[in-house]
Structure 1
């Protein structure tokens, strides 16, 4: 595949959900772009910290994390953290980004709540962004009559072949990330503001490694990421050593 677009609700969501897969795509020559929907303003434990200061920190951390995975194109839409809805405004913004980047595959959040995984996986912003992203993929990005203002911007309709999202209890697609698992961990740790001052930050995300290890055991490798694959328009020729 030539291009992939990651649509994430918050800074750090892309790394937690897809970090190993993103790095593998980049290594295979795929052009990967990030779109971060919210400003990340609620991602802090100090209520006295100025909003603008935290937003700036999280933007910088997201750019640093993306670079560790080989991604240099990061767009921030600036929607309010904690207040995202599958609104016409968000559908338009995501449709614009899909038509601008013209990806073969979109990686984004699940639009439904998981009842088996920790509740944090089903943050309401994740659910709203997942739903809006799917709606942007189909029907809006591929429909030349949708959002005519985008045609005026020179952004013609574009069909996305597939959508990948964290699999949780719906996992049907495992990606071998033996060569990129450590980069995923380092990219997560680049979000320094999200870790407490005491203790080893690596210990706080041991569950990430444990989950990759469990998926790897299913695939017959050391580390894997578990995704849900949705074929939208024709499907893709997948990377080797995936299942």
Structure 2
């Protein structure tokens, strides 16, 4: 049984949103799996580079990496929503997580919101599994400030450093996506930490719980 399953629309989403939490849970002995829905690149060569970055990030943070079945280069929006739900049903059946974390369904990015809706739909079959959402990674999105967390995970310095290293793998020559700013991510985590009196933290919305917050305990 997996302690935590993270469902991310693209490579880099999980690292930006909760890389510190993943690193910390791995250090505590919790088994963490990250499933990426789509690579979202427009050539096989670009997709291979982004997959390699995701694999390097997983080696640093300590999670197992899964790719949702399908054409690795397809966009999330190209996957029929019913098919996406079915793929997540099969994934959760195979991984058997105690908790799932995914995007906020109010995210301004349509592909993030679509992934979140599919996870919510899939949750009808999960039984005793907690569901959390992480907020937008980009402050420039119009709904960024509307995400209101109710769960915080304080980050110790080693987790902050592991997150920084995982993000930097995506800043390779010829990347087709936006350059990732690890300093901006650290500033955001410092602001979240300030909200709870910690040096740094990552924040989530708890939307479904069955028996507490098992994702915070070792398995």
Question: What is the TM-score normalised by the length of structure 1?
Answer: 0.75
Q: Distance in 1 between matches of 2:194 and 2:80?
A: 36
Aligned length: 201
8 Å CA contact 1:63–1:72 kept in 2: the answer is no
Measured in 2, the distance between the counterparts of 1:58 and 1:73 equals: 13
Indicate how the Cα distance of structure 1 residues 28 and 218 shifts in structure 2: closer, same or farther if over 3 A, else same.
same
User: 1:63–1:74: 8 Å Cα contact kept in structure 2?
Assistant: no
CA positional deviation for 1:232: 3.6
User: Equivalent residue for 1:96?
Assistant: 90
Structure 1: 4+ residue segments shifted above 6 A: none
Counterpart selection for 2:166 from 177, 187, 205: 187
Partner residue, 1:216: 193
The question of whether the paired residues in 2 share the 8 Å contact of 1:21 and 1:175 is answered with: yes
**Using the alignment, how far apart are the partners of 2:168 and 2:186 within structure 1?**
13
1:165 aligns with 2:133: yes
Alignment counterpart, residue 105 of structure 1, candidates 70, 78, 99: 99
8 Å Cα contact 1:166/1:228 also seen in 2: yes
What is the root-mean-square deviation in Å for CA atoms of aligned residues? Answer: 2.4
Seen in structure 2, the aligned counterparts of structure 1 residues 37 and 237 have a Cα distance that, compared at 3 Å, is closer
Unpaired runs of 5+ in structure 2? 136-143
Residue 194 to residue 32, structure 1, CA distance change in 2 (3 Å) = farther
Match of 2:116 among 105, 130, 137: 130
Q: Where in structure 1 are there 5+ consecutive unaligned residues?
A: 43-50, 114-121, 143-158
- Give runs of aligned pairs for residues 201-212 of structure 1, distance below 5 A: 204-212=181-189
Change (3 A) 1:85 1:207: same
Q: Relative contact order (C-alpha < 8 Å, sep 6+): which is higher?
A: 2
Q: Is residue 62 from structure 1 mapped to residue 39 from structure 2 by the alignment?
A: no
- Cα contact 2:4–2:215 (8 A) shared by 1: no
TM-score of the superposition, structure 2-length normalised? Answer: 0.82
Output the CA distance in 1 between the equivalents of 2:173 and 2:212: 36
Give the deviation of 1:111 after TM superposition.
Answer: 1.1
Shift of 1:124: 1.1
**One of 175, 179, 185 as aligned partner of 2:153:** 175
What per-residue deviation string (whole Å, max 9, x for no partner) do you get for residues 136-176 of structure 1? 12x1x33xxxxxxxxxxxxxxxx242112114622111101
Distance, in Å, in 1 between the alignment partners of 2:14 and 2:174 is 17
